[in-house]
């Protein structure tokens, strides 16, 4: 615990005084006590009890629990000791940092994050490197992905959908104004906060306006399609490095189609088949799947999903203005401060609580381990010490 820098020697001594003397030599009892007293999380103690203490503190960030991973980096829930705030820390594992293309991709995302700042975009407030570990510190959003919300609650009410997507369009307008094209807008990249405010996340596939084709190929390599096939604009499947902001409007239209109908524009099939359908086919009319939607609302979604970029709205701001014609008010009265306190209790149970509840985040992310580190003692030494101890015991018995 002390070597990990999660607690000082004096803090550990103070905790030990509150632990029954019979349990002080039992690592598991100590670990449970540290969790119940709110000093450490179960994830932290699960590492420490195996002798793995490195990597639990990265600069000012204390790792609390794993959140998930994408194709490029792992994400952890952390506490920033400078401001005592919860944050999501995206880390490029050292093994991936050795690959020049992966390192370039991560650094590219860091630059993208520096360029944007908007209430409906996940805030990246710190980027940097600590002892060879590259990281992006982002605000932690205690919410669900839009995809998960639709799965759990069903289709969105049109007035609520119009309000949510108007705010998403606002975020896109800001990003486009900074020269950033998202290129991967989808339900899984829109988080809905407890106060029903959407946040667009993940600039990992974003394109910077004016980038050369060679720069853009850092993401997927030459000849690869960049994006998510269920929501990708036709022109993005042809040359992802030569697209404009309207590719995000097409993806927004596909996302709205999904949110209002509960189904993908082109369900089933292989990736190649989906690409072909985005280029050449029209989806089942939304009005057939969801009768009763305002005609103008449906027409706007159809315009957003136009195969020809020129057939879409001129920009994201125009889209947001149109959507607000059908938007309802946000009646949420959730106190975000309360939600953060609840989250803190989940990760760091208070006194008297022995239940460990790991933070449950979007289903498209999987739990991950910290970057691999060597245990405090190598396996061969542990085995050797065990054998040596057995010999001593046998010798003592024989001596008796």
Active site members: 184
Classify residue 229 by its DSSP letter.
T
Longest Cα separation, the chain: 94
Structure tokens at 14: 């103070």
Query: Torsions phi, psi of 359, nearest 5?
Result: -60, 130
| Angstrom distance (rounded) from CA 246 to CA 250 | 6
E strands, the chain, are 57-58, 61-69, 74-80, 85-92, 124-130, 133-139, 144-145, 180-181, 190-192, 198-200, 207-208
* 61 beta partners: 58, 80
What is the rounded distance in angstroms from the CA atom of residue 306 to the CA atom of residue 323? Answer: 17
Query: What is the rounded distance in angstroms from the CA atom of residue 216 to the CA atom of residue 308?
Result: 23
- The C-alpha atoms of residue 46 and residue 48 are separated, in whole angstroms, by 6
What would the 3-class secondary structure string for 126-183 be? EEEEECCEEEEEEECCCCEEHHHHHHHHCCCCHHHHHHHHHHHHHHHHHHHHCCEECC
Report how far residue 73's alpha carbon sits from residue 67's, in angstroms, rounded to the nearest whole number.
11
| C-alpha span between 196 and 193 (Å, rounded) | 5
- Residue 191 token pair: 């988080």
Cβ atoms of 89 and 136 closer than 8 Å: yes
Task: Give the residues across from 190 on adjacent strands.
Answer: 200
Task: Find the radius of gyration of the CA atoms of the chain.
Answer: 25
Q: Is 194 helix (H, G, I), strand (E, B) or coil?
A: coil
């Amino acid at each position: 615990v002390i070597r990990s820098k999660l607690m000082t020697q004096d803090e550990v001594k103070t905790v030990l005084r509150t632990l029954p003397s019979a349990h002080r030599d039992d690592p598991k009892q100590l670990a449970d006590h540290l969790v119940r007293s709110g000093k450490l999380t179960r994830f932290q103690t699960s590492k420490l009890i195996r002798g793995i203490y490195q990597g639990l503190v990265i600069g000012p960030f204390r790792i609390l629990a794993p959140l998930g991973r994408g194709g490029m980096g792992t994400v952890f829930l952390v506490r920033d000791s400078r401001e005592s705030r919860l944050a999501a820390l995206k880390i490029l594992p050292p093994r991936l940092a050795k690959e020049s293309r992966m390192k370039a991709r991560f650094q590219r995302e860091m630059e993208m994050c520096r360029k944007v700042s908007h209430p409906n975009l996940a805030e990246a407030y710190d980027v940097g490197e600590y002892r060879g570990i590259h990281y992006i510190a982002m605000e932690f959003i205690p919410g669900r992905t839009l995809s998960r919300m639709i799965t759990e609650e069903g289709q969105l009410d049109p007035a609520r959908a119009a309000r949510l997507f108007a705010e998403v369009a606002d975020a896109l307008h800001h990003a486009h104004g900074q020269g950033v094209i998202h290129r991967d807008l989808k339900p899984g990249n829109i988080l809905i906060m407890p106060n029903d405010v959407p946040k667009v996340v993940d600039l990992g596939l974003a394109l910077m306006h004016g980038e050369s084709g060679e720069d853009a190929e850092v993401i997927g390599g030459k000849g690869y399609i960049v994006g998510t096939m269920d929501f990708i604009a036709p022109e993005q499947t042809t040359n992802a490095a030569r697209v404009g902001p309207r590719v995000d409007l097409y993806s927004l239209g596909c996302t709205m189609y999904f949110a209002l109908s509960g189904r993908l524009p082109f369900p089933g099939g292989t990736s190649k088949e989906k690409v072909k359908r985005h280029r050449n086919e029209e989806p089942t009319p939304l009005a057939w799947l969801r009768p009763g939607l305002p005609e103008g609302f449906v027409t706007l979604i159809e315009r957003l999903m136009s195969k020809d970029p020129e057939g879409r709205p001129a920009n994201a701001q125009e889209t947001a203005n149109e959507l607000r014609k059908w938007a309802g008010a946000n009646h949420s009265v959730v106190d975000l401060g309360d939600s953060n306190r609840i989250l803190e209790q989940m990760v760091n149970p208070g006194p008297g609580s022995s239940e460990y509840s790991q933070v449950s985040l979007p289903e498209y992310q999987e739990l991950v381990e910290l970057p691999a580190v060597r245990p405090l003692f190598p396996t061969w030494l542990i085995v050797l010490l065990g054998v040596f101890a057995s010999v001593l015991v046998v010798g003592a018995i024989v001596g008796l």
